[in-house]
């Protein structure tokens, strides 16, 4: 197995979560407050850093609108909306971003891993839908390591893999700070459709991103041969 490792964040990198996690925050806040927060506001929090956890972000936004709700109640409602019953949850609105053949080509010379803020059960649903034929090992989730920007998850992966070369691909400033703290090259994904995209690009540059791409389909052009 290759000791060159590509570590992927999931949301905004492997999958488009515009209509899943972002919509989940909006619907959860609206359920408790009757008010719908904009996606621009959500992106402002993401760019500020420290808000990778959408349960925490939803709870914070609800409190900011003057409604006092226990955190556990917010988590339960978010999960009801997001996971649904059967296939009606927002998670089933997600779209795999990699074009056919991209990851298969990269897998010829790179080992794949995942470091995500998702919990295991959410990740399993998505990988089972889209990536049954791909191997991501190891997988580090919110159940396994402190939240980003802590570098602990990346450092765990490096130790497990004995990696001589490791790159991290993410879409938030917390991902970039995590990579810099771990001392590994970072590729930032800044979707052309993302609110506050220009600000995000500047944040990636400030964190010394090795490259900034619209999506992962240009990844081969920036990785070492």
3-class SS string, 40-102: HHHHHHHHHCCCCCHHHHHHHHHHHCCCCCCHHHHHHHHHHHHHCCCCCCHHHHCEECCCCCH
pLDDT at 179 over 90: yes
pLDDT at 85 over 90: no
Quick: pLDDT tens for 95-145: 999 999 999 999 999 999 999 999 999 999 999 999 999 999 999 999 999
For the chain, the structural domain boundaries read: 4-16+95-221, 18-92
Q: What pLDDT is attached to residue 164?
A: 86
The CATH class of 4-16+95-221 is: alpha beta
The pLDDT-based confidence of 1 (bands split at 50, 70, 90) is low
The DSSP result for 18-47, as a single string, is IIIIIHHHHHHHHHHHS----HHHHHHHHH
Nearest Cα neighbor of 151 from 219, 159, 212 is 159
The pLDDT-based confidence of 182 (bands split at 50, 70, 90) is very high
């Amino acid at each position: 197995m290759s000791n060159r490792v590509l570590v992927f964040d999931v949301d905004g990198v492997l999958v488009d979560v515009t209509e899943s996690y972002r919509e989940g925050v909006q619907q959860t806040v609206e359920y408790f407050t009757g008010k719908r927060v904009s996606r621009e506001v959500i992106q402002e929090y993401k760019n500020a850093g420290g808000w990778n956890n959408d349960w925490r972000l939803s709870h914070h936004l609800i409190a900011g609108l003057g409604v006092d709700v226990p955190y556990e109640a917010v988590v339960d409602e978010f999960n009801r909306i997001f996971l649904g019953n059967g296939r009606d949850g927002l998670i089933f609105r997600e779209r795999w971003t990699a074009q056919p053949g991209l990851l298969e080509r990269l897998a010829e010379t790179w080992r794949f891993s995942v470091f995500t803020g998702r919990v295991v059960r959410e990740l399993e649903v998505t990988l089972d839908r889209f990536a049954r034929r791909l191997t991501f090992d190891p997988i580090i989730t919110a159940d396994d390591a402190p939240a980003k920007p802590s570098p602990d998850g990346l450092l765990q992966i490096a130790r497990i893999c004995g990696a001589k070369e490791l790159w991290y691909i993410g879409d938030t400033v917390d991902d970039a700070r995590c990579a810099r703290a771990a001392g590994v090259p970072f590729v930032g994904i800044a979707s052309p459709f993302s609110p506050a995209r220009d600000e995000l690009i500047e944040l990636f540059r400030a964190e010394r991103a090795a490259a900034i791409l619209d999506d992962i389909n240009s990844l081969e052009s920036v990785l070492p041969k």
